[in-house]
Structure 1
Amino acid sequence: MAGRPRGRPARQSARAEAEEGVVSEPRTLAIRVLPQPGESLDSWLEALARRSWTSLSALLDALGLPTEERTHYLLTGLPPEMFQRLKKQLNLRVRVLEQSAVPPALFGRRAPHWRFCPQCLNEGQGRFPTRWWLPWTFACTKHQVLLHRHCPSCHAEPRGFLPRSVHLHPPGRCMRRTGLRTVCGADLGELPALALPTGTLCCRPRISSTLSPSTNGWTPTEPSQKSTSAYHR
C-alpha cells in the first residue's frame, strides 16, 4: 500500500488546530542551519530546506510561515510575531534575523526584484545577501561587476516566484517553474561577468547612506540633497 507523502499529517494537524482555535507551542527543528551575516531570509530558509532534504514550501508550512507565490513576501510581508516565533523555533540568538528582511515601505508600490552576482553565488554555494533585493543595488562591489537580473535560459527572474523543490536541485540554479513538475534548472553561477562602466560605483556610498543597518533591522535615514540626486541619475 502506498504511503502518504511526507509532511502531510503535520500540515493537516496544524490546519485542524488553527480551525479549532487551539494555541500550541511552536514546533522546533532538530536540524539547524545558522543564517550568515546579512543573508536574505529566503536564502537562509532555502539552505535550511536543502539541509533538511525537503521542499521550501513544506519547510515554510512546518514552521507556520505563509507559502505565498511571490518570493519577496518573505522579506516584506512577515509580521514581527512570526519573526519572534521563528527565532524561538530554531533557537537563534537575539538580532540574528534583524537584517534578513526589509520594510515594504522601501519599495513603495513597486514589487521588489532580485539581482545576483554569478561569482558570489558560486563562492557562497547559492546563498546571498539581503541587499540583492534592494532597489538601488545594481553592482557587486566585491567583484566590480554589474548584477544580473534574468536567467539566460528561461529569460525570467529566477526568484520572482517562490522556489519549491530546492532539495532536488544543486544550489545556485534557476528554480523558475517551466511546468507542473519541472523547473528551468540553469546554473546561474555560469553567467559571464557584466562589465561595470568606469566610475559607476562612486555614487554607491551616497545611495546606500539613505538606508542604514541597525539592531532593529534596516532603518531609513534622512537622505541629503546630494545623495538624493545621485539616486535619481
Structure 2
Amino acid sequence: MTAAPRTLPVRLDPLPGEALDSWLEALAVRLNTPLGDVRSHLGLPVRSRSGDHLRDIPPDWTIALREQESTALARASGLNSTAITAMTLAHYDQRALRIDLDRRHVNRRVLWGRGRGSRFCPDCLADSGGRWKLTWRLGWAFACPLHRRLLGGLLPEVRPRPAGAAPLRLDGPPVSATAENGPV
C-alpha cells in the first residue's frame, strides 16, 4: 500500500465543466512541474505501452476513477470527491454514455459514447487559457452554445509534445489525453 499523497502547495480550482486531464495539465503549469510528476504525486500510476490493464491503469484517466484514486486526488487538491468525479465521464455514465467500469472504457456503440478524440470550441479555449471542457468528449457535442458555432472536428492521436513546448494547446485536446505514450 502506498502512502496518501500530501496536500499540494498550490491550489487550482477546476473551471466549470472542465475535464480532469485539462485540470491536471493546468495544475502542472501552475506548479511549474512536469505533468507526469503531478500525476505521480497524486497517486495516478504511470502508463506504459503494455500491461496497463493488468495494473488497473485506464486508457484515459478522464473516463473514470476508482474510489481510492478520487479520494487521493481530493485530499491532495483540497477539492471534494464529487468535484473530482464531475471532471470524468463517469459523471455522465448511464445518462449520456455507458462505461465499463471494470475496464474503464466507454462503450462507443451505446447512447452517445465516443471512443477517442474530442471536439472543441476555439473561442472557449482562448477564453479559458486552453482548458478543455468534458462535454466536448461526448458524442452529441457538436456546437458551442456560448459562442454559437460548430465545434472543431474530432482530433486524431497526436505526437507527444517536444521538450520546451508550451504546456497548454489551443489547437487540440490536452496533450496528456492523446499522447502516443498514453492518455492521462
TM-score normalized with structure 1 length: 0.55
Question: Is residue 40–residue 101 contact of structure 1 (8 Å, CA) maintained in 2?
Answer: yes
Q: 2 CA distance for matches of 1:32 and 1:83? A: 16
Query: Which residue of structure 1 lines up, in the alignment, with residue 169 of structure 2?
Result: 172
After superposition, the Cα gap between the structure-2 partners of 1:148 and 1:77, relative to the gap in structure 1 and judged at 3 Å, is: same
1:144 counterpart = 2:148: yes
Query: Which residue of structure 2 lines up, in the alignment, with residue 95 of structure 1?
Result: 82
TM-score normalized with structure 2 length: 0.67
1:68 counterpart = 2:65: no
What displacement does 1:26 show?
Answer: 2.2
Question: Is residue 64–residue 88 contact of structure 2 (8 Å, CA) maintained in 1?
Answer: no
> Percent of aligned positions with the same letter in both sequences?
34
Q: Deviations over 1:97-126 (max 9, x none)?
A: 231001372531452321111111001111
1:133 counterpart = 2:137: yes
Question: Is residue 55–residue 165 contact of structure 1 (8 Å, CA) maintained in 2?
Answer: no
Secondary structure of residue in 1 paired with 2:73: helix
Secondary structure of residue in 1 paired with 2:83: coil
2:33 to 47, 54, 59: 54
Amino acid aligned to 1:50: V
1:29 counterpart = 2:26: no
Q: Deviations over 1:45-77 (max 9, x none)?
A: 110000111221221112111333799611114
After superposition, the Cα gap between the structure-2 partners of 1:72 and 1:164, relative to the gap in structure 1 and judged at 3 Å, is: farther
> Which is higher, the Rg of structure 1 or of structure 2?
1
Query: Which residue of structure 1 lines up, in the alignment, with residue 123 of structure 2?
Result: 119
Between the two structures, name the one with larger relative contact order (CA 8 Å, sep ≥ 6): 2
What displacement does 1:163 show?
Answer: 5.9
Question: Is residue 117–residue 147 contact of structure 1 (8 Å, CA) maintained in 2?
Answer: yes
Question: Is residue 7–residue 77 contact of structure 2 (8 Å, CA) maintained in 1?
Answer: yes
Q: 1 CA distance for matches of 2:117 and 2:28? A: 22
Which runs of 5 or more residues in structure 1 are unaligned?
Answer: 1-21, 151-155, 181-233
What displacement does 1:162 show?
Answer: 9.0
Question: Is residue 39–residue 129 contact of structure 1 (8 Å, CA) maintained in 2?
Answer: yes
Query: Which residue of structure 2 lines up, in the alignment, with residue 7 of structure 1?
Result: none
RMSD between aligned alpha carbons?
3.2
Q: 2 CA distance for matches of 1:98 and 1:111? A: 19
1:82 counterpart = 2:69: yes
Question: Is residue 142–residue 150 contact of structure 2 (8 Å, CA) maintained in 1?
Answer: yes
Question: Is residue 113–residue 133 contact of structure 1 (8 Å, CA) maintained in 2?
Answer: yes
Q: 2 CA distance for matches of 1:29 and 1:162? A: 29
